[in-house]
């Protein structure tokens, strides 16, 4: 017998209405950017190029260049908004029996034993602040390295950078390249408008041109382009620095914690490899909003020294012999390689856990489960 839908005044019905209203409100920043973009197109193409410019050659060059920047801007923005964030694959989700065991066991060492068994064949190299295995109690999964739970999307996002309200989406492994290109092309778009509009802005400001309807559009267009250029240049510069260091925004505020120590540069492989990890090996795709990032988003090579028997190999399946030697990035995505799950690499084995327990005693914080967002 099917359950009847909640009555209009029931709490469940109001909760559904509230969630729908929230989802609609989340699109307000996107609609604001879209409306500014539509107005700038009208102001530049119609009011500036077609009605104000008198030189045919200048008019053609400006229109062609403008539409190239406009197309790249809209394309990258669209891809950033509508590319679904990637979530951890099924290997990281707890089985039904593991979920039951986790719910039955009291918090502490027994729960960590369950999580260690679930994660023993997974490429998990980072831990929580207390040294516990990173586990999401909302998604019921062992978190891959660099994965975090987004409170807005209510999902675990692979290589999550941040949740951006201007695109109403999480920026992570699947769309980080698109987000970078969106910042780059929006900055170029604003700089191009400001540069080509400057002389006409000065002419209108000094009354060098007749006072027409175009005056408002051209003057305000320059102010808007200049203002957005300043804010976008700082944001784009910051993310370029993140790419060069192979960091995410979350990792800047909370450095990744590996099994042996915290290392803020643990995922940095050097500038060239860091760049290729985001943009890929084929340079012809670098400037286009098409997915070309390396890897599968679940495992990442590191530059750390293997300091204990547990860490016999890195997520990339490559060994390192010195701290200054970086791992070579896999020639193909880790999802397609044989080293995806690293089944030949022990991880958090029971013997190692017992040895650590003997060193620090029963109060070892690594044996307590910590849920982390």
Q: Residue for token digits 């999307």? A: 153
The C-alpha atoms of residue 198 and residue 12 are separated, in whole angstroms, by 56
Residues in CB range of 209: below 8 A, 6 or more apart: 52, 200, 203, 215
Q: Which of 62, 136, 139, 164 is catalytic?
A: 164
The dihedral sign for the CA sequence 71, 247, 33, 203: negative
Count of alpha carbons within 13 angstroms of residue 306, beta-carbon side: 16
Count of alpha carbons within 13 angstroms of residue 262, beta-carbon side: 11
Q: What is the DSSP letter of 91?
A: G
Inter-residue contact 297 to 264 (CB < 8 Å): no
Count of alpha carbons within 13 angstroms of residue 233, beta-carbon side: 9
Q: What is the DSSP letter of 163?
A: E
Cα 161-328-184 angle, rounded to 5 deg: 40
Active site includes 164? yes
Catalytic residues: 164
């Amino acid at each position: 017998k099917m359950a009847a839908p909640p009555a209009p005044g029931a709490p469940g019905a109001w909760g559904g209405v509230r969630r729908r209203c929230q989802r609609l409100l989340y699109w307000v920043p996107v609609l604001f950017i879209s409306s500014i973009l539509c107005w700038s197109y009208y102001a530049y193409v119609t009011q500036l190029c077609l009605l104000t410019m008198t030189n045919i050659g200048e008019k053609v060059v400006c229109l062609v260049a403008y539409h190239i920047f406009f197309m790249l801007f809209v394309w990258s923005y669209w891809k950033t908004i509508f590319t679904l964030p990637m979530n951890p694959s099924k290997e990281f989700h707890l089985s039904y029996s593991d979920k039951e065991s986790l719910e039955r066991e009291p918090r502490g060492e027994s729960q960590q034993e369950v999580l260690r068994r679930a994660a023993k064949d997974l490429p998990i190299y980072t831990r929580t602040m207390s040294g516990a295995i990173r586990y999401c109690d909302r998604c019921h999964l062992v978190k891959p390295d660099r994965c975090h739970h987004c409170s807005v999307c209510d999902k675990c996002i692979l290589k999550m950078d941040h949740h951006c309200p201007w695109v109403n989406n999480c920026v992570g492994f699947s769309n980080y390249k698109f987000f970078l290109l969106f910042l780059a092309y929006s900055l170029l778009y604003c700089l191009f408008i400001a540069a080509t509009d400057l002389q006409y802005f000065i002419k209108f400001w000094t009354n060098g041109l007749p006072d027409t309807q175009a005056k408002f559009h051209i003057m305000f267009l320059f102010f808007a382009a200049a203002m957005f250029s300043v804010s976008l240049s700082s944001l784009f510069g910051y993310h370029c620095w993140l790419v060069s260091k192979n960091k995410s925004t979350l990792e800047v505020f909370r450095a990744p914690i590996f099994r042996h120590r915290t290392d803020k540069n643990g995922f940095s492989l050097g500038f060239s490899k860091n760049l290729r990890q985001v943009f890929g090996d084929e340079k012809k795709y670098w400037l286009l909003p098409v997915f070309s990032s390396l890897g599968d988003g679940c495992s990442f090579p590191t530059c750390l020294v293997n300091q204990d028997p547990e860490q016999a190999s890195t997520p990339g399946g490559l060994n390192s012999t010195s701290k200054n030697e970086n791992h070579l990035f896999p020639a193909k995505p880790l999802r397609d390689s044989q080293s995806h799950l690293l089944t030949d690499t022990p991880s958090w084995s029971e013997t190692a856990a017992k040895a650590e327990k003997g060193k620090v005693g029963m109060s070892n914080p690594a044996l307590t489960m910590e849920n982390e967002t």
